[in-house]
Structure 1
Amino acid sequence: ETPRPLWQTVVYFFLMVAILVFANWGKPATNEGIWYTIFSYKWEITGISSLLFGLTLGAWFGVKWWKVLVSIIVVGVLGFLFQHEPMIPFAAGVVALTLITATEKGEMTTWLEQTWSFAKQILPLLLGGVLVAGFLLGRPGHEGIIPSEWVSVAVGGNSVFANFFSSLVGAFMYFATLTEVPILQGLLGSGMGYGPALALLLAGPALSLPNMLVIRSVIGTKKTVIYVSLVVIMATITGLIFGMLYQ
């Protein structure tokens, strides 16, 4: 039996996703349009989402209200004092949430334990991916082991070949969880097009060479070839469409 209605769980996760999305909202290329407007108010939206999130902890998860109110006041004061440094109140909010989950019992403690468990699993892979991507691909303005010209020729622009090549390579490569993010960032910095980048990001997690071998042992060679072909083709088409829309 669930301790709360489904809609409360939906709102709870929606607020967490909103905080994650808007806190990381990047500045668009042009200083106009809806995306720039959202960027201009990203921290206001993040703050409102965080406030509502804190209220849900007190109302639905049994967190003591004095902890919620103290956290809101501290973060609010820091936000007022450091209006041009929004990361300071944001970091204070993260610390406050950590202290709340560490000093509560039940779901809050379980949440913190699971978060720490996943962090220990994911962070080494993420840092390793950043290290490898930086070593091989460099960073904007600085060459890595692989020349950026090679990347630009193979997967630059938004041609059918570039999207197909990205999908095919992604299908055979193995990406550990979250390592595709720094690798993709390095490729983009080396001249990879946005369409091929999405094609790689779609085909990569869906398939890998070890994955294909396991699938083949279960459903046979013919069905495996059809499955792999569909993944590559759909990733290619999606990359083409995204590349045309992004231009």
Structure 2
Amino acid sequence: MAFIFRKEEKAKQEEQMIIVPLLERRPMWQTSFHFFTLVLILVFVNWGAPFALDKGLWTFIFTYKWYITGVLALMLCWSLVRILKLRPLWVCAGVVITIVSVFLADALIAKAKLVPLVPMVVGMASLSIILLFDKRNEENREWALSS
């Protein structure tokens, strides 16, 4: 069989030699840091209440999940400015709008379970708008459009 398909295999090998690897815009650790921060934010925001009898690590995490999410949000802001090279003023504006939505949702929404949804949606919308209107780096716009 190898003898029969030797010409095709030789052509494949020659094509593989021609392929030029794409140049990376940023190191892998920066991209990994950015995406792991996004994933961890989603993990801790969705952290459910443990059983009533459980008094260990899961209860501690549930008790402080919003503080942990806040720290992760600060890490995301750092990532947006330093890694994705977004304008710091835009990122700060998104943070301020999200913080204002926290207090407004807490004051205006009666059901406590619905209160965290408002800042989460406002934060996601802010991030999407910032990425979409970034003129300095086309890759940021592509990321927003692909998600």
Give the Å deviation of 1:107.
1.4
Residue identity opposite 2:141 in structure 1: T
RMSD of the alignment, in Å?
1.8
Deviation at 1:79, TM superposition (A): 2.6
- Please state whether the residue corresponding to 1:111 is helix, strand or coil: helix
Structure 1 unaligned spans of 5+: 116-247
Which residue matches 2:31? 9
Contact 1:43/1:86 (8 A) holds in 2: no
Q: Is the 8 A contact 1:78 1:88 kept in 2?
A: yes
Residues 200-234 of structure 1: per-residue CA shift (max 9 Å, x gap): xxxxxxxxxxxxxxxxxxxxxxxxxxxxxxxxxxx
Distance 2:126 2:62 in 1: 25
Q: Give the alignment partner of residue 86 of structure 1, picking from 101, 116, 138.
A: 116
Letter in 1 for 2:86: V
Instruction: In structure 2, give the amino acid aligned to 1:77.
Output: V
Gaps spanning 5+ residues in structure 2: where?
1-22, 107-111
The structure 2 residue matched to 1:38, chosen from 58, 61, 83, is: 61
What is the CA deviation profile of residues 10-32 of structure 1, one whole-angstrom value per residue up to 9, with x for unaligned ones? 21121011111111111111252
Aligned residue pair count = 115
Q: What SS does the aligned partner of 1:104 have?
A: coil
TM-score normalised according to structure 2 size: 0.69
Structure having the higher helix fraction is 1
SS across alignment from 2:38: helix
Report the Cα distance in structure 1 between the residues aligned to 2:120 and 2:24, rounded to whole angstroms: 31
Structure 2 residue 18 is the aligned partner of structure 1 residue 18: no
In structure 2, the residue matched to 1:111 is 143
Deviation at 1:80, TM superposition (A): 4.1
Deviates more, 1:58-67 or 1:1-10: 1-10
Q: TM-score, normalised by structure 1?
A: 0.43
Residues of 2 paired with 1:107 and 1:11: CA distance?
Answer: 17
Identity %: 35
Native 8 Å contact 1:51 1:72 kept in 2: no
Runs (4 or more) in structure 1 with deviation over 3 Å come to: 80-84
